[in-house]
Every structure is written in C-alpha cells, then in structure tokens.
Structure 1
Amino acid sequence: MTLPTTMTAARLTRHGGLDALEVAEVAVPAPGEGEVLVRVAAVALNNTDLWTREGAYGSAEDPGAQRGWRGRIDFPRIQGADVAGRVCAVGAGVAEDLLGRRVVVDPAIYDDDGPDANPVGLMGSERDGGYAEYVTAPAAQVHDVSDSPLTDDQLASLPTAYGTALGMIERGRLRAGETVLVSGASGGVGLAAVQLAHARGARVVAITSAGKIPAVRAAGADAVVDRGDDLRAQLRSVTSEGVDVGLDVVAGGLVPEALPLLREGGRWVVAGALGGFDVALDVRRLYLHNAQLIGSSMHTPSHFALLMQLAREGEIRPVLAATFPLGRAREAQQELARRAHVGKIVLHP
C-alpha cells in the first residue's frame, strides 16, 4: 500500500479560543521503532480537548498557568485522544500481522510498563493525536477490535470517557448490588459511568439537568435527580439507605453536600471538577465512617484492556450525539462546549 506524503490535520498553534485551532496540510508521520501508523476512521471529542486548547490545567505551583494535560505543550500540536481506525504501516520491531487490523488506541502515556501504571501524558496533548487522517501510536497500546460489533464512531467514543469511567469504577471497587451515585451523568464520562455501573449490576443513582433526565434513565440509571431542584432532599429521598460509591466529575459544592450520604466504608471517587476546584468538607465524615476520598485520573493498562474486552463483546454501546467532518473541528468543539448534547461528538477525517 502506497501512503500519501501529506494529510489534513486540525492542530493547535497556541493556547486560546477556537481560532487557536487550525486545519492545515501537514506531513504524514512515519512510525518509529515499536510504533504503528493508524489511518483514522473516527476520533471522538472530550472536555480535555477544550481545556488543552485553553491551557486550563494549571500547575501545582501556579493554578492559573497555561498548560496542557500534564505540562507545557510543544506547538503546533495535533489534538485528539480517542482514535479508532486501521493499522496501515508498522515500524521496526513490530509484527506485520497487525497490518489491516481494526484497532482502538490507548491514548495514555504511562509512567512505566506495568499493568497498573499511572497515566502521565495524553495523546493530543503531550504527543500528536488523532484530529488527522493518520496518527502514530506505540504498538503495545493498539488494541485489535476487528471482531467488535461496534461501529467506528462507537469505538472512538471509548478511550478517554469510558476509560476514565472504568478507572473510577475499578478504583472505587464497585460491586454488583451496591448503590452508586454518578454526578454529571449526561456528560461523556458521566454517561459512560452510568452504562458501565449498570452493566456491573449496581443500582445507579444519577444527577443531571432536568432536560436530560430521560436520556440518562435510558442509559441505565435506576433513579435520576435534577441537579437544580433541592438536590440534597432529592438525593436523600432516593438513597435512604446510603451510597456505597460516588463517581464524581463535578466536585465543588457537591462533595460536602453528598459525602454524608456514604455508608460505612464508602468510597467517593473524583475524576473532574466541573463544579469548581476548591472543596471544603467536614473531615469527620471521612475518618469517623472509614470512608475514602479517591482521586482517579483516566485508567491503567489493565483497566483499558478490560474496556477493550467489553468492546469486543459489544457489552457497552456508546451513545452518539453528533458527527462532524474534520474540517469543522472548531464547530465540533463549540458544540461540545455548549453542553446541550447527550453522548459523544465524533470527527470524521
């Protein structure tokens, strides 16, 4: 197969507004040793795309500093963490039987090679991503899903949102029969958490806005409450026996409000801060009840392997909100920022 020498890509030229994202013709990357080249069939958007563009992650020393997901970005940077496609070339040391395989890329950059490694970087931030016709990736992080019944759009929806949600579920040790509370349940990670927790056999209580309640209930929530209408009273009415696990992407004022709902030995897992970074809480609610407050950033390699097995079996079917051609990447990010949708937004190169 003869590959083109140039491709269309949407890349960041700096931190900033939508005008910082440009569509350009760039060179097709060559896979290095241990890498493969993937022809991108679909790439899903995530909030991290917006925050990386805006440089909104800050640093421990300076919360207001403009940074990518884990540090300074080398511009220009092609965005996009969530890629589904086919392997079209392999680098040195990679078996050629991967050629032609339908794959999903694990977008994390890990701190070691073990199954429980921590993500310390992300495709689309710390290395070029999939807002392009082609992208390179380590062969060890390319998962063969040739037999999956899911569409390319559904497969591309899995890595960051569903990987993050599954990481939360695994770190929170959620078991069948337990009650789980999911905040931000209509967003990418929140809706994924609802689906995954339901598939695990948990009783799912979800928080969302009034207009999105039917969609969240359809995704598998057993009870859904309106975040804007006396939230504490609603939660107490549907969790009278308490909550075993909280899966929280909102944080802010929700943490002190909902933490008292935890049963003895409960686990509250935080993977986002849509409601605010600063949290004030009564620590007695933790130590007097043997509760745990757990930070969860994306997934480990073992979590991702479990997610890919679910994809091969068709156990989880992501909800799609909209698709855009790559040339309309700005419009797609604008739609994501509006937060009027339920499900994933996907680009087609």
Structure 2
Amino acid sequence: MAGVLLTGHGGFDKLVYRNDLPVPTPGVGEVLIRVAAAGVNNTDINTRIGWYSKSVKSETATGGTTGFAYVEDTDASWSGTPMSFPRIQGGDCCGYIVGVGEGVDSRRVGERVIVRNVFQSYVGYRPWEIWTFGSEVDGAFAEYTKAPSRETYRVECDWSDVELASMPCAYSTVENMLQRAHVQAGDHVLITGASGGVGSAAIQLAKRRGASITAVATSAKSEVMLQLGANRVHPRGESIVDALGRNCIDVVLDVTAGPDFRELLEVLKPGGRYAVAGAIAGPIVELDVRTVYLKDLTLFGCTFQDEVAIKNIVSYIERGEIRPLVSKSYSLKDIVVAQKDFLAKNFSGKLVLRVPE
C-alpha cells in the first residue's frame, strides 16, 4: 500500500512517501479500514519535530520546517515516552471498513467510519491514560489502517469523505474542553486561535450550547468567524484586556498560550474557567499565581477524553447540528505541501489529505 512514514524527529525530510508498505492485519477486536481522507493537524507537526519534549521552549512554527537543533527524544510524544520509528502518522481518519479481526462482527464490513483519535482500548480503559492514533500506533496517512472496533464509529451523513475527515481530532478536542469547563447557555466564551481547525470547531460547538462567543483571529478572517457563529472577533495581536476589560469572560478555550496567556486570565471573571489543549504560540508562559487564587480560577488541562466526546460529535453530525469547514484538500503524496500551507496559516478551518488520489 501507499503511505507516508515518519522516520524520526526533524524537518520535512523525515516524511517519506512509499508505495510498498504492507497492509496492516487487524488483530483481536480490531477492524481494517481503507482510508479515504485524513485531516492535517498541528499535532502531526508537533510530533514530527519533537515539540512535545520539555527540551523545546519555543512555539511550533520555529521548528515546523526544519525541526529543532536539539530534541530530547525520551519525552517527545503525547505520552511522554519515546516514539517508535518508523511511524505512520495521521489522527483524523474517514474510511471504509474492509476487514475485521477476531471477535468483531463481519457485518461491519462496508461501513463508512471515523476513528477516535485517542484510544483507551490498548491501555485497558485505565483513567487518564491513552494511546494516540498516529503517535503510539500507526494512523491514517496511508491507504489502509487498523483501529479498535469499539473506537471506530459508523457515521450516516451526506458529507464528502474529505469533509468527514475534518472532524475527529478538532471536534472531539473541543467537545472535551467544553465538558471539562462546564460551558452552558449564557456563558461568555473567549476562543483563541479561532480560525484554525480546533478554534473553528470551538465556535460551532460553544454556540451549540448557547454561549456568547468572542473569537480571537486575524482581521482578514473575521467574516468567516462571524458566519460560523462568533458574536465578536478580537484582532489577534491586540491587547485583549484593553479591548474587553478585566473580569468579563466566563470561560477561555485556549490552544495558543504564548505571550498572551497572562491577559487570558485577567479577562476571566472571578470563578472563571480556563481550558487549554494546545500551545502553538509557545508553551512557556508568564503566570502570576495570585491571579489564579485571588480570583478563584479553575484551570483545566485537556488531553484525555472520555468516549462520550467522540460519540457526541457523531450524533451532532448525524443531526445536522454542526458543519465542516474545509479550506483545501491535497493528495497524500503532497503532504509536505499541505504542512507548509498549514504552517503559513493563510486559511480558515481544516486542510485534508485525500487517500488515495
């Protein structure tokens, strides 16, 4: 089969397109999936360049093209353990079940499915422990992949494969953040990185819950953010405190961190909630602990997800409550072009790889 191998931490040269890879064999409780499309995510780049290692202090873009001069391989993964190479990445998968392993009903063959991007099957459903699709196990950047049947979900909708592949990572990440931060109708929610895959998902899913939304994005992308459901768009790079004032936001959904982190806590109301699932603007931030305890803030780190997050997303899709925002699609063999465009950030929503062409 054709696929893209990640051969180590580093630059684009670590992505190797091959057409002689073996088709995986589904094991007990697994399904074999013919991949139709796979979304491009920030975590693909973070994993490639080893950004998850504590030895890296800068934002993703600094090493996105060539990697970093030094990465401590021992902790450069989601799980904090060494990566195993070569690895097929790709955490977003839309495809069709073409085979089943022992213990799986053969009637599943033919289903169009998406795959949960954080697996609990392989760790015995222990709390706060996951394996990530495309990191701890091979993912969707290939013509075929395998996944636990229990964590592979049939979806009935009229969307294209490319559109459906834009959903799993971004939307389940946000649904988890919303659940953890207890977002409800009437909350004023501030969303950073609002024009990206996770951010645009956050606008739709927070609006679905009845929240009022202030989105942080470049001025050029304001109209798209408003069409998605934002009530207001704050220009990225300008002071949030100066524009909104202190103590006016119920919940912050953050995927950027970086130099604006201090202001994100300043705009939260006393008793406010801050949920974070990324740090693309930089993982090292300035934190005044007095702000946290004097305002009784609650901070949520959001990686582990209960199964209900992806199950909810499937139900929202099938009921027509959310819609995809795909900017562009590419052939799998053009993954480097797709990642370069991803790093340039001149788009809104998601970029998706077609598998095969």
- State if a TM-score over 0.5 links the two structures: yes
Match of 2:192 in 1: 183
How far residue 182 of structure 1 moved from its aligned partner, in angstroms, is 0.3
- Which of 10, 17, 21 does residue 4 from structure 2 map onto? 10
Task: Tell me: CA distance 1:298–1:43, structure 2 relative to 1, closer, same or farther (3 Å).
Answer: farther
Question: What residue in structure 2 maps to residue 289 of structure 1?
Answer: 295
Map residues 83-94 of structure 1 onto 2, 5 A cutoff: 83-94=93-104
| Residues 172-197 of structure 1 deviation map (CA, whole Å, 9 limit, x = unaligned) | 00001110000111111111111110
Structure 2 residue 348 is the aligned partner of structure 1 residue 342: yes
Asked if the contact 2:247–2:270 (Cα under 8 Å) also holds between the matched residues in 1, the reply is no
1:112-155 Cα distance to aligned partner (Å, 9 max, x none): 555x943532111111110111100000101111x223322222
> Percentage identity across aligned positions?
39
How far does residue 77 in structure 1 lie from its aligned partner after superposition? 0.7
Change over 3 Å in CA distance of 1:17–1:65 after alignment to 2: same
- Give CA-to-partner distance per residue, 1:75-133, whole Å, 9 cap, x none: 1111101001110000001011211111110021338555x943532111111110111
Q: How do residues 290-305 of structure 1 correspond to structure 2 at under 5 angstroms? A: 290-297=296-303, 299-305=305-311
Q: 1:68: Cα distance to partner?
A: 2.8
User: 1:241 offset after TM fit, Å?
Assistant: 6.7
Amino acid at match of 1:267: R
SS of 1:78's partner is coil
Gaps of 5+ in 1: 1-6
Q: Report matched runs for 1:135-214 at 5 Å.
A: 135-145=145-155, 147-214=156-223
Matches within 5 A, 1:223-262: 223-236=232-245, 242-262=248-268
Partner Cα distance (2:78, 2:169) in 1:
13
Matched letter for residue 36 of structure 2:
A
Tell me if the contact between 2:113 and 2:153 (Cα under 8 Å) persists in the aligned partners: yes
Instruction: State the one-letter code of the partner of 2:34.
Output: R
Contact kept? 1:56, 1:65, Cα under 8 Å: no
Q: Structure 1 residues 195-204 or 278-287, which shifts more?
A: 278-287
Specify the SS of the correspondent of 2:114. Answer: strand
Alpha-carbon distance in structure 2 between the residues aligned to 1:324 and 1:306:
28
Instruction: State the secondary structure of the residue aligned to 2:134.
Output: coil
Give, as a single letter, the amino acid of the residue that structure 2 aligns with 1:320. Answer: V
Query: Counterpart of 2:328 in 1: which secondary structure?
Result: strand
Q: CA RMSD in A?
A: 1.8
Letter of the aligned partner of 1:252 in structure 2? G
SS of the residue 1:181 aligns to: strand
Match of 1:266 in 2: 272
Contact 1:243–1:262 under 8 Å retained in 2: yes
Q: Corresponding residue for 1:333?
A: 339
Contact 1:165 1:298 in 2 (8 A): no
Residue identity matched to 2:153: H
The code of the aligned residue for 2:214 comes to: V
Cα distance in structure 2, aligned partners of 1:75 and 1:112: 20
How far apart are residue 244 of structure 1 and its match?
Answer: 0.8
| Alpha carbons 1:149, 1:314 under 8 Å: kept | no
CA distance in 2, matches of 1:294, 1:261: 17
Query: What code does the residue aligned with 1:65 have?
Result: E
Q: Structure 2 unaligned segments of length 5 or more: list them.
A: 58-70
Deviation string 1:241-299 (CA, Å, 9 cap, x unpaired) is: 71111001111222211212212321011111122212222222222232111111153
Partner SS, residue 213 of structure 1: helix
Shift of 1:204: 0.5
- Seen in structure 2, the aligned counterparts of structure 1 residues 172 and 260 have a Cα distance that, compared at 3 Å, is same
C-alpha distance in 1 between matches for 2:160 and 2:25: 27
53, 56, 70: which one aligns with 1:58: 53
After superposing the two structures, state which structure 1 stretch, 284-293 or 313-322, moved more: 284-293
Report the TM-score, using the length of structure 1 for normalisation.
0.92
TM-score for both structures, normalised by structure 2: 0.90
**Of the candidates 95, 111, 117, which is equivalent to residue 105 of structure 2?**
95
8 A Cα contact 1:217 1:224, kept in partner: yes
Counterpart code for 1:280: E
Aligned-partner residue type, residue 244 of structure 1 = D
Q: Are 2:240 and 2:264, in contact at CA under 8 Å, matched by a contact in 1?
A: no
